[in-house]
Amino acid sequence: MIFANQPPIESNTFLLVGLGNPGREYRDTRHNVGFQAVDRLCASFDIKLSRLQSKALIGTGLWDGRKIVLAKPQTFMNLSGQAVASLLRFYKIPLSQLLVFHDDIDLHVGTVRIRPGGGSAGQRGLASIIQQLSTQDFPRLRIGVGRPPGQMVAADYVLQDFSKADLELIAVVLDRAVEAARVFVQSGLEKAMNQYNGLVQKE
């Protein structure tokens, strides 16, 4: 409950969290695109996810004079907020320096959209974080995975692997998400939004 009216915190630490489900069977699914983004961030920031802490697989490192904490909650998607809230408390990180990466079925494949806050739109990991923090006001980076075809249930659709047609585009999108995260850490949310919100075009 401490997060809803969080007092100002002076911190040089950023928490970048990818949402997904642990387990090899989920690794390449649409729902795990947040985990995939964190894997790319590990390479970009030269950080290894090396230990379990607060129900998450985490890694820490320094970049551009800032401490970076990368995390993949290991609680399954609908309990992701437990790990996020615990890590924020432990590292004393302000909500403005949290960035959550997650899939979004309401965005076309190839779309990256960074927002300063908002509802969960049915994304259960995001809903869990909102519940645990008692606020919707934290940055998130939405990665479009498209709508399910026909009458397919959304929960079934997001637990499927990306189609072959989408894989190449998703690789480009993940690179764009990493670039946006670096700008977010270095220059702030507004600049990241201005530079990276939009649709990646197929070449």
Q: Which residues are catalytic?
A: 31
Q: Is 17 exposed, middle or buried (0-12, 13-18, 19+ CB in 10 A)?
A: buried
- DSSP per-residue codes, 57-114: EEEEEEETTEEEEEEEESS-GGGHHHHHHHHHHHHT--GGGEEEEEEETTS-TTEEEE
Among residues 92, 132, 99, the alpha carbon closest in space to that of 9 is found at 92
